[in-house]
Structure 1
Amino acid sequence: MNSRQLLFKRISQNWKQQFAVVKRVVDWTVLVYLVIPAIVISFFVYRSWWVQIPDWMTLLPFPAIFILFFLLLWSDHFLTYVREADQIFLRKKETLFLGMKRGGIIYSYAFQLLLAVTICSLIAPLWFIQFGLHMGQLVVLAAMWVSMKWLIMGVKGRLNVELRGWRSLLRGIPLFIGAAIIWMWCYKAFINENFVLILALILINTIVSAWFIRRRFNSVHTFEQDLAIEELEKNKYIEIIFGLSMDMEKMPKPVPVRKSPRLYSKSNRIFKNRTPKNGFIELFIKATTRNTEYIIGYFQIMGVTSAATVMLPPLWLKITMAIIGTVFLLTWLGSVWYKVVGSHSFTKKYASEEAYFEGKKVVKTILVLPFLFIISCSLFLNIWIRNHFFFF
């Protein structure tokens, strides 16, 4: 097996692994009732944009495109597709190992180029019809964005990706500010049609990116950094998918056990009336309020659904997203209830009793009411604003 075959095998394994995780989350019912209809609707909506631009898109200013592209710069690394076991075997075969690493980096360059073409294809109706620009200018935008993406990926490949917390945030501030300044130069050069400066920025970004990545490209002695980046990218997508999962509700990181919890430190009783139903509800309240991940998950579902009802233009699509969000919330609450109460070693033997299901029903009802209130307020507020302010 040569380095090219090994690289293709690793890339194929990587995609199969991600697809396997998605399959565990998106079962056939979700696929049939949500994913496939969403794809079909998205296709026809995108096709309609070429016929007539929606009213809400006509309100977007041209700088919003550059802001959107700037926000899409930050998510990837140059991948070399190394594995932990390679330290034992492949590092002894330097030619094979180095060939695979180089191929992985070249593949990362090409993948980002393909991603730029895809994003530009999505904004093409707005670009051509609304702003009246031509294909050459769209190609220039794609080239500026992908060269900037390569530069940021090169810089991130030299940083310690295992660093977390406030130190990682402080380290990322100079990178963010520098990227914002360069992207502002790109925007001003594009507006002023200074294509000499644009070409210079594209070449400089590409050359500096290659300079930052040269050690990983030419040496086998960056194995630890390469492996850390691979693990970061793999776990990033898995955590996102698991976070959206309802059947595999997982915590992103273990929570240390405290001798005295912050809430209910003396195990105070919440309900004076001690009934089996109230016991289940009390256990659920204490377990979920002591762990911020459950609280954050609840507000994330509420926030995403509320944002969808505000941003999506047709009324029928707003109502559809509100219904989908409600169903998703109810299913997620059922999953959390089972993890906290139903699967607990002390309470799972009571999971067949009537009080268990009564408590579950009460929790779902109480938590879905504020959700429906916020979504309804978002929907009616959006309709009222659109009726009274023409510029929305």
Structure 2
Amino acid sequence: MSSIRLLFHRIEENWNYKYKIIKTVIDWTVLVYLVIPAAIITIMVYKSWWTDPPAWIESVPFPLLFAVFFFLLWGGYFKTYVREADIIFLRKNEKLMIGMKQGGIIVSYLSEALSAVLLGLFISPIWMNHYGLNFKQLMLFFGIWVSLRWGIMAVNGQLNVHLRGWRSLVRSIPVVVGAAAIWWISYEAFQSGSLLSVFLIVVFNGIVSMLLMKKRFTSIHTFEQDLSIDEKDKNKYTEMIFGLSMDIEKLPKPRPLRKSPRLYSKSNRIFKKRTQRNGFLEIFIKVATRDTVYIRGYLQVFGVTAAAIVFVPPTWLKITIAATGFFFLNIWIGSVWHKLIGSHPFTKKYTGEEGYVKGKNLVTTVLSIPFLIMCAFNVWILHMFRSLFPFF
């Protein structure tokens, strides 16, 4: 087997693995009610941007757009598609292993360039219609962006990927400061219209990334680091996908031992009146508020829907997104309730009781009220404000 065939076999395995994970989260109901409508709405919104830029872009100056893309620089690695078992066979076949690693790194370069192209296509209507910039400037902007991203990915490949907590934060400070300085110089060069300066920055970033990647590109002695990077990328993707589904049982994350929890440390009662409904509510509130996973999940549904409503211009699309978000929120609340109450060994035998149903309905109502208020504010109140105050 040649290095190219082995590389493409590993890439195919990687995509099949991701596809199987996605299938465990996105079943046919989610596909029909969420993914397909979201794709259609996205295409329609994107098409409308070419004829009528969204109103929210008026409050986004060009420097802020530059700042937003700075945060999109992070989170990537150059992958080499090595596996743990390769230490037995491929390390004895250095030529085959180095060829596969080189192909993986080149694929990573090309995939990041493709991401830059897709991002460029996405913002091109705003770039040209609102900011009045041309296609050449768009190419230069994303040339700067992808070359600096290559440099950051190369630096990340030299660091210890196992560090966590404050050590990881301290280690990343020089990287962030250095990247911010280069990004600021790039902005100044771009604003001045100096094409030569922009081109030199792109070349500099590309050369730095290649120099930092030279050892991983030409040697098998970085096997442990390559393996750690690939496993981290794989596990990060898996945790992200599994986190979208409340039906998949996850292994509990290790946590430091505490004598008592931060909330309800004395397990004090929340409701003075002791009824079956209040008992279920108390269990749900204590468990859900003690675990940030559930709080973060609720805020994610809340935030994503709010952002989508703000970004799309037509009122009917805002209402459609609000209805879809409300439908998804109810599914999520029901899933969390079933996980914490309905499937627990001590409470699942009471699922047919009146108090169980009343408790679930009350939780759904209470958690839906802030969501509905947010949707109403974004759909109607902001529309009214903008009609009365055009500058708002």
- TM-score, structure 1 length as denominator? 0.92
- 8 Å Cα contact 1:53-1:126 kept in structure 2: yes
Aligned to 2:193: 193
Question: Are 1:99 and 2:99 counterparts?
Answer: yes
- 8 Å Cα contact 2:246-2:339 kept in structure 1: no
Q: Displacement of 1:244 after TM fit?
A: 2.2
- 8 Å Cα contact 2:306-2:378 kept in structure 1: yes
Distance 2:367 2:24 in 1: 27
Question: Are 1:277 and 2:285 counterparts?
Answer: no
Give the 3 Å change call, closer, same or farther, for CA 120–167 of structure 1 in structure 2.
same
Aligned to 2:87: 87
- Opposite residue 202 of structure 1, the aligned amino acid is V
Distance 1:52 1:377 in 2: 23
- The answer to which of 66-75 and 299-308 deviates more is 299-308
Deviations 1:200-238 (A, max 9, x none): 111111111011111111111212211111122112222
- Find the residue that maps to 1:125 and give its secondary structure: helix
Number of residues of Structure 1 aligned to a counterpart in Structure 2? 392
- Opposite residue 103 of structure 2, the aligned amino acid is G
- Opposite residue 236 of structure 2, the aligned amino acid is K
Give the 3 Å change call, closer, same or farther, for CA 132–15 of structure 1 in structure 2.
same
Deviations 1:148-171 (A, max 9, x none): 111111111111111111222222
Distance 2:384 2:162 in 1: 48
Q: Displacement of 1:142 after TM fit?
A: 2.2
Give the 3 Å change call, closer, same or farther, for CA 60–267 of structure 1 in structure 2.
closer
Q: Following superposition of structure 1 onto structure 2, how do residues 316-335 of structure 1 map, counting pairs within 5 Å?
A: 316-335=316-335
Distance 2:173 2:305 in 1: 31
Q: Following superposition of structure 1 onto structure 2, how do residues 118-157 of structure 1 map, counting pairs within 5 Å?
A: 118-157=118-157
- The answer to which of 50-59 and 88-97 deviates more is 50-59
Distance 1:249 1:93 in 2: 40
Give the 3 Å change call, closer, same or farther, for CA 167–388 of structure 1 in structure 2.
farther
- Opposite residue 180 of structure 1, the aligned amino acid is A
Q: Displacement of 1:331 after TM fit?
A: 1.2
- The answer to which of 72-81 and 118-127 deviates more is 118-127
Distance 1:254 1:31 in 2: 33
- 8 Å Cα contact 1:78-1:153 kept in structure 2: yes
Question: Are 1:362 and 2:359 counterparts?
Answer: no
- Find the residue that maps to 2:85 and give its secondary structure: helix
Give the 3 Å change call, closer, same or farther, for CA 70–382 of structure 1 in structure 2.
same
- The answer to which of 361-370 and 217-226 deviates more is 361-370
- 8 Å Cα contact 2:113-2:146 kept in structure 1: yes
Deviations 1:124-160 (A, max 9, x none): 2223333333332222222211111111111111111
Aligned to 1:295: 295
- Measured on the aligned residues, the alpha-carbon RMSD in Å equals 2.2
Q: Displacement of 1:109 after TM fit?
A: 0.5
- TM-score, structure 2 length as denominator? 0.92
Question: Are 1:40 and 2:40 counterparts?
Answer: yes
User: Structure 2 stretches of 5 or more lacking a match?
Assistant: none
Aligned to 1:111: 111
- Opposite residue 289 of structure 1, the aligned amino acid is T
- 8 Å Cα contact 1:239-1:252 kept in structure 2: no
Deviations 1:310-339 (A, max 9, x none): 333222222222222222221111111111
Give the 3 Å change call, closer, same or farther, for CA 199–80 of structure 1 in structure 2.
same
Q: Following superposition of structure 1 onto structure 2, how do residues 1-392 of structure 1 map, counting pairs within 5 Å?
A: 1-57=1-57, 60-248=60-248, 250=250, 253-256=253-256, 258-392=258-392
- 8 Å Cα contact 1:243-1:249 kept in structure 2: no
Q: Displacement of 1:51 after TM fit?
A: 3.4
Distance 1:4 1:28 in 2: 36
- The answer to which of 90-99 and 252-261 deviates more is 252-261
- 8 Å Cα contact 2:78-2:157 kept in structure 1: yes
- 8 Å Cα contact 1:7-1:103 kept in structure 2: yes
Distance 2:59 2:290 in 1: 44
- 8 Å Cα contact 1:59-1:391 kept in structure 2: no
Distance 2:53 2:265 in 1: 58
Give the 3 Å change call, closer, same or farther, for CA 254–51 of structure 1 in structure 2.
same
Distance 1:52 1:300 in 2: 29
- 8 Å Cα contact 2:56-2:310 kept in structure 1: no
User: Structure 1 stretches of 5 or more lacking a match?
Assistant: none
Deviations 1:361-390 (A, max 9, x none): 222122222332344344454234323432
> Percent of aligned pairs with the same residue?
55
Q: Displacement of 1:251 after TM fit?
A: 7.2
- The answer to which of 309-318 and 247-256 deviates more is 247-256
- Find the residue that maps to 1:84 and give its secondary structure: coil
- The answer to which of 304-313 and 227-236 deviates more is 304-313
Distance 1:129 1:379 in 2: 25
Q: Displacement of 1:290 after TM fit?
A: 2.0
- 8 Å Cα contact 2:45-2:312 kept in structure 1: no
- Find the residue that maps to 1:304 and give its secondary structure: helix
- Find the residue that maps to 1:73 and give its secondary structure: coil
